[in-house]
Amino acid sequence: MSSPLFEVEGFEELKAKIRELANDKDKKREVLVILRQVAQPTLQAARSFVPVSSKRHKARGKLIEPGNLKKSLGFITGKQENPTIYVGTRAKGANSGWYGHFVERGVNKYRKGYKRKRKRGANNHAAIGKTKATPFMAMAYQATGTQVTNEAQQKMAKFIQRRIDKLSR
């Protein structure tokens, strides 16, 4: 076996620090905090664009109060390995915004007694109308998209620089 031409001092220590930095459990939590801060303007815009009903209505056997959809808007933490934050209607726990996608995209109306088929799109010909879509999330994204992207890039660059500084100690 041949001997190396040169040897870098402290290389093993550097490798250990990089491994420590990569497996840092606080990293994901800190990135999620940054993403929530950055997504706050989108959440505020979505709350301003969401329609509020003038009266309460009944769905799935429960009364839905006016303003319920606005209250259920919030941050949803993604379950993937990479830190991810979504802004949208929440349906778990005390939130009951399960119908947010109906408001966003609209929904077909059928005559009373029509038996729907399970196959997607098979019922479209029988629809007697469609509710008006109010794309409040799309409008919120359009209003804040470039601002959020720029702010996220800046904050993530600062975060990475802090991590590099920590590594260099």
pLDDT at position 75: 96
The pLDDT of residue 165 is 80
For residue 4, the model assigns a pLDDT of: 59
B/e letters for 27-64, b = 16+ CB within 10 Å, e = fewer, are eeeebbebbeebbebbbebbbebbeeeeeeeeeeeeeb
Domain boundaries, the chain: 25-101+133-168
Is 84 within 8 Å of 78 (Cβ atoms)?
yes
pLDDT score recorded for residue 6: 56
Total-model pTM: 0.75
Question: Which pLDDT does position 20 carry in this prediction?
Answer: 64
pLDDT in the model for residue 7: 56
In Å, what is the CA distance from 142 to each residue of 43, 46, 52, 118, 155?
Answer: 12, 10, 20, 34, 21
What pLDDT score was predicted for residue 104?
93
Residues in the chain where the model's pLDDT stays below 50:
none
DSSP state of 64: E
Nearest Cα neighbor of 148 from 29, 43, 27 is 43
Cross-strand pairs, 59: 62
Give the pLDDT confidence score for residue 73 in this predicted structure. Answer: 95
How far is it, in rounded angstroms, from Cα 22 to Cα 16? 10
pLDDT at site 12: 73
- pLDDT at residue number 116: 84
- SS3 of residue 160 by DSSP: helix
Between strands 85-89 and 73-77, the pairing is antiparallel
> In terms of Cα–Cα distance, which of 161, 151, 164, 165 is closest to 34?
151
- Summary mean pLDDT of the chain: 85
In which element (H, E) is residue 63 found?
strand 62-64
